[in-house]
Structure 1
């Protein structure tokens, strides 16, 4: 029986651990927190998982919250117009229907549940914050060591891939609040949707239905341009002050969203989070001081800004691809060439996410402004953009190049005439 060590108990680490466990591998999982500590801790993410990523969970029979989580059936885009004496109004507003429903489950709830499941099934859990020196020892004990902990000392094992990393500083300041009491969007009160609100030159507000330990909630997520008016959460440690600042900015820049948020309250004492990080692609093979090698997983090696909502989706897809590669490899050694091939298999998908995310962090060129505006009059364009969140590779066909965008819109306009 092959022995594998996975460091990190997030979406990718736990999904991969449970998948390998079901295939008969002897898995040790290192987590820096117990299940109870995860469940009682601070929120970790703003996850919305779309159809393809959810199917990977279903394939492993890990979709335990399917019936309780809000059924997200659409994705909408609103763009604020220039400020007026009465504040910002919407210059663009539309909703695209998803071909398959999406869902969001608070990772505190999901990861704690999956960690307990892994233990019940006989998996070995080590509660310990791993260091490079720890891995130097473990590399001689296990057939394969996978690093799925995207923060801390271990990330330094994986060098930055400058050719794939155009940014060397954070491009957004991030601020998250999970709340109860948000009202429905009046345009579609019976339909749950992710709402993307773009404020040119200022940042973005995302509103996402979710399931947390206290039931149905919504995530209010600001992404502020560094140094701008939404970069306003540094130094705030009081969750109530964090929420108040979130609402102040909503009232100023997205009054249509603020109108349904006047009665919200925080979901729990750990329901806020703020920070920033640099989008980075890293080389997948980490070399240890003693000569051993470890393979990076998901956001350890491909870290994207959450502006396109791809973090948990990419983690699930990475775990699924790595699972297939490990099983297919049989009893052969997990050498550096195999590690690079395994990562390359993931990068074939992840590169589309990175390209799209990096594009969305920059000011939009004119053809993208036209495309987003036209989607308000062309439901098929709205549907296609919305479903690009499930399959970002599709954006290659109509999003990046002005000529392809123009041809696509001309085709849609002709067919709807």
Structure 2
């Protein structure tokens, strides 16, 4: 039986641990918090997961919230004009539904399941020295803890990391009491509100500790009017600022938020980080090697909502690479090939996310605007959140965008 150590108990670490466990591997999982500490702690992310990522959970039989979590069937885009009016407003329908489950709920439950199934769970914050010791007794060590000292083991890949500073200031609030969008009250949708030059607001239905809720998630251009959450420790002050900015920049979203309240005192989060791709192999002082997982090695800004999706896809890709490798040693060449296999998916996410962080060129504005005129454009853009590779065919190059929009207009008889 091959022995594998996974450090980090987030979406990728736990999904991979449970997947390997089901294949008969002897897995040790290290977490710096217990399941109860996670469950009763602060929210960790916004996590809207689309069809492909959810299918990876279904394949492992760990999709426990399918009947509880809101069924997200659409993705809408709105663009605010100079007087805070809507210049663009449309909703694309998803081919397969999405869902958001508070990671406090999901990770705590998965961690308990891992232990119940006989996995060795070690509650300990791992340092490089710990890994140096453990690496000698395991066939493979995977680092899936995306923050802290361990990340420094993985060198920044400058060729794949165009930004060296945070591109957005992030602020999240989980709330009860948000009213429906009157334009589409019959189904749940994620709402992406773009305020040019200022930032973005994402509104997404979710399932949390207290049941159905919604997430209000501001992404502010650093130094701009949305960059006001740093240093805010009081959750109620965080919510007050969130709503004040809603009223100022997005009155149509504020109109349905006048009665909201936080789901709990841990229901807010703020921070920022530089989107970074890193080399996938870390070297320990003793010469041992470890493989980075998910956002340890590919950390994109959340502007495209890909964090949990990428984590699930990375776990699925690594699971396949490990199982297919059989009894052969997990050497440096294998580690690089396992990452390269995942990068074939991740590169599309990184390219799209970095493009969305920059001011949009004219042809991108044309595509977004066309979503309000042609439903197929809205639907295709929405489903790109599930499969970002599709953006290669119509989003990045002016000629491809123009050709695509002409084809859609022709099919519509315009």
TM-score, with length taken from structure 2:
1.00
1:239 matched to 2:235? The reply is yes
2:5 is paired with a residue whose SS is strand
Q: Which residue of 1 aligns with 2:163?
A: 167
TM-superposed deviation, 1:235: 1.2
Alpha-carbon displacement from aligned partner over 1:246-281 (angstroms, at most 9, x marks no partner): 000000000000000000000001000000000000
Correspondence 1:370 to 2:366: yes
Give the match for residue 355 of structure 1: 351
1:139 counterpart SS class: helix
Alpha-carbon RMSD across the aligned residues, in angstroms, is 0.3
Tell me what 1:43 maps to: 43
Q: Could you list the runs of 5+ residues in structure 2 that have no partner in the other structure? A: none
Query: 1:2 Cα shift?
Result: 0.3
* Inter-partner Cα distance in structure 2 for 1:14 and 1:190: 35
Match of 1:127 among 123, 130, 136: 123
CA distance in 1, matches of 2:361, 2:228: 27
The correspondence for 1:157, drawn from 150, 153, 157, is: 153
1:308-358 per-residue CA deviation (whole Å, 9 max, x = no partner) reads 000000000000000000000001000000000000000000000000000
1:281 to 273, 277, 280: 277
How much has 1:82 moved relative to structure 2?
1.2
Aligned partner of residue 359 in structure 2, secondary structure: coil
Tell whether 2:13 aligns with 1:13. Answer: yes
The secondary structure found in structure 2 opposite 1:221 is strand
Q: Hey, what does 2:27 align to over in structure 1?
A: 27
Question: Does residue 176 of structure 2 align to residue 186 of structure 1?
Answer: no
Q: Count the aligned residue pairs.
A: 413
Q: Which residue is equivalent to 1:82?
A: 82
Q: Deviations over 1:270-300 (max 9, x none)?
A: 0000000000000000000000000000000
Secondary structure in 2 aligned to 1:187? coil
Distance 1:316 1:213 in 2: 22
Structure 2 CA distance for aligned equivalents of residues 336 and 231 of structure 1: 42
Task: Report whether the alignment pairs 1:402 with 2:398.
Answer: yes
What CA deviation, in whole Å up to 9, does each residue of 1:44-63 have, x standing for no partner? 00000000000000000000
Q: Which residue of 2 aligns with 1:251?
A: 247
- Tell me how far 1:234 sits from its aligned partner: 1.0
Q: Supply the distance in 2 between the matched residues of 1:7 and 1:264 (Cα, whole angstroms).
A: 37
Q: Where does residue 263 of structure 2 map in the other structure?
A: 267
How high is the TM-score relative to the length of structure 1?
0.99
C-alpha distance in 2 between matches for 1:234 and 1:125: 34
Aligned structure 1 segments of 4 or more residues deviating by more than 4 angstroms: none
- Superimposed CA distance per residue, residues 348-372 of structure 1 (whole angstroms, 9 cap, x where no aligned partner): 0000000000000000000001110
